Amino acid sequence: MHLRQALTTTDRTTLATCLLVALALTVQGQLPRSLPAQDHILSRSNRLKRGTLVVAIPCTDGLIICADKRLSLADGSPVTDGATKLIAVRGHAVVAYTGAASVERTLGASSLVLARFDLEGEIRSYFADDSIDPGASAKGLAERLISRLERPRRLGEVLPPTGLLEGKRLLMQVIVFVRRTSHSISGYVVDIAYEKRESSIFLPSDPLYSAYMVPLSEIGTASSEPKAFGHSEVFREVLYGTDVRFDDIRRNSTIERLRKSSTDPRLLSRSSALEAACRLTAVSSSRSDLLVTNAGIGPTVDCLLLHRKKGVFVLRPKKSWLEVPRQRLPRAAANEAQLSLR
């Protein structure tokens, strides 16, 4: 029996699809490599842009929220310092994000972009619907983001070129702060994670996406603490650590007040909370390399006030709050700090 006669209609369709995919990828230069090799190449490209730090500090008027404006590549090198990571929603909510701000789908291993996932655009589009309550939309937002990431792939299209690592990893994080009718502030966090799946040489598989929704306890109560999302290593070290390389920052009177566990964060004025948030973001930008590799935190910030009663306001920080003094350590302390890095 001839091979052509033995093949069913389904077999012929499957074979034709594989041949077309192989042809499309060959035209671009070569067949796709195995995923680890592909990740190594694509993690150094412009196809993943990520956001890095969001800080939220309670104050007498409500909640100060600051975010750096940098989008960076996987290696920490900046793409732009003009990104917007804070989005006001109808005057009673603020949405922020960290992680993958932009993911591109490409044709094979080429630089030809077939589609682009833009996190800021997806957030704005979702909350543009006035029927959606920002305070009760965690599940809907998670489903929207995953559906956009899992959009059916075109011929030869590969997603995502993000330098994926093995196992389950966090891809992006969306934080929603909401002003309630009771004049309290609460919120939730939506984490979008991925898990790599095995791929064939002809048909690379998309990762398996999943969402985790974490409620934020009421913010601005006597028991609440300042919060940070993204690369918060320096933030946590300054407020709760003992590393001498950050002692000069801790000596700032506003930071010192924030560090005292007995201090109710609601007693901070709007100006003091804004200063603290800006200083913590600035030192995270200038000294993050002391604690973490390739943090990619920018030196400029956007700041919003989510007022308990009046809505959302844009705040302008003083220039001096974003200036971090040059680090000067006594010789013994400097030697100790160097040894701790080895």
CATH of the domain at 82: 3.60.20.10
Each residue's pLDDT expressed in tens, for the chain with a length of 342 residues:
443 444 344 444 444 444 444 333 333 333 222 222 222 222 333 345 666 899 999 998 999 999 999 988 766 677 788 889 999 999 899 999 998 888 776 665 566 766 778 899 999 999 999 999 998 889 999 999 998 887 765 555 545 444 455 567 788 899 999 998 888 899 999 999 888 766 655 555 667 888 999 898 766 555 578 999 999 999 999 999 999 999 999 999 999 988 885 456 667 899 999 999 999 999 999 999 899 887 889 889 999 999 999 999 999 999 999 998 776 655 444 455 444 444
Residues whose CB falls within 8 Å of the CB of residue 243, separated by 6 or more in sequence, listed in order: 237, 290, 337, 340
- Cα 35 to Cα 166: distance, rounded to the nearest angstrom: 10
The CB density around residue 342, as the number of other CB atoms within 10 Å, is 4
What's residue 329's pLDDT? Answer: 55
Domain count, the chain: 1
In a domain, 215, yes or no: yes
- Cα 43 to Cα 66: distance, rounded to the nearest angstrom: 28
In a domain, 251, yes or no: yes
Nearest one of 123, 320, 71, 96 to 227, comparing CA atoms: 96
β-sheet with 301-307: strand ranges across: 227-230, 53-58, 62-68, 301-307, 311-315
What's residue 339's pLDDT? Answer: 43
What's residue 161's pLDDT? Answer: 44
In a domain, 255, yes or no: yes
In a domain, 112, yes or no: yes
Q: What is the pTM of this model?
A: 0.77
In a domain, 11, yes or no: no
Q: Which domain holds residue 287?
A: 32-341
What's residue 138's pLDDT? Answer: 92
What's residue 116's pLDDT? Answer: 77
The CB density around residue 313, as the number of other CB atoms within 10 Å, is 15
In a domain, 7, yes or no: no
97 by Cβ neighbours in 10 Å (0-12 / 13-18 / 19+) ranks as buried
